Amino acid sequence: MEHTYRLVISCPDRTGIVAKVSNFLSTYNGWITEASHHSDTQSGWFFMRHQIKAESIPFGLDQFRAAFEPIAREFNMRWHIADSARPKRVVLMCSKESHCLADLLHRWHSKELNAEMAAVISNHDDLRRMVEWHDIPYHHVPVSKENKAEAFGQIEELLDKYEADVIVLARYMQILPAGLCEKYAGKVINIHHSFLPSFAGARPYHQAYSRGVKLIGATCHYVTQDLDEGPIIEQDVIRISHRDSIEDMVRLGKDVEKNVLARGLRSHVEDRVITYENKTVVFD
């Protein structure tokens, strides 16, 4: 993979933003390999992502930040720059279902996902052997009504220990406490079936089957204190028919879930997602 810097910006929309940033990069011989822009006419905000050859810039990121800061102040920018040579550290969280976890581990193992799998945390011990085969630390932290505060305190210590850049709930069947949601805002990614809010609770596919639904799908989103209502990163659907059994729907649903989660995580680790209000801009 080519060594690049990723400059990601959001700011109030006005004329001259692209010209100013492009001129800055040109001044230092910055070679732009990818440029994405979006203007939201409803909110009046502008969004930008530039990918730049790292070798074309004559200094490192600290000097880049110092040199760019006056432009950022001038345009009231929210911005960051990331180095592709420093893959984001991912902590996966799971329960008993393996499809999302196994898929992400495979994509990481086959180098389809440019990230560092730091650890896996689970409230069950069922998937330990699968994870440890990949030489990834596995932490079993049981969670019950009686020990929730203690358990999530232990989980928070593990997240701090592994310096998690992003936390992926790969079918982790526990609700994160508000404190963790706030501490890691914009860094926790979840996946769930897209029946919500229609078929909430247990056995959603059985409920959907009894209603004769024709579409099943999945939603990948950032976790907030409002359950399953965070900014959406990725979604997809599959059509089904009266010929499909409950087992078929579950199988197809798992396929959609793991694909949507992988695409959402890839967008995040490649700095392609910008959140604003309760929405996202996701650059291809």
What residues are annotated to the active site? 228
Beta strands in the chain (DSSP E): 4-12, 32-40, 45-53, 78-83, 88-94, 115-122, 138-140, 166-169, 188-193, 215-222, 232-239, 273-276, 279-282
Cα of 51 vs its chain's centroid, Å? 19
- 86 Cβ contact list (under 8 Å, min separation 6): none
Q: Of 69, 67, 91, which is closest to residue 79 (Cα–Cα)?
A: 69
Q: Of 73, 6, 44, which is closest to residue 276 (Cα–Cα)?
A: 44
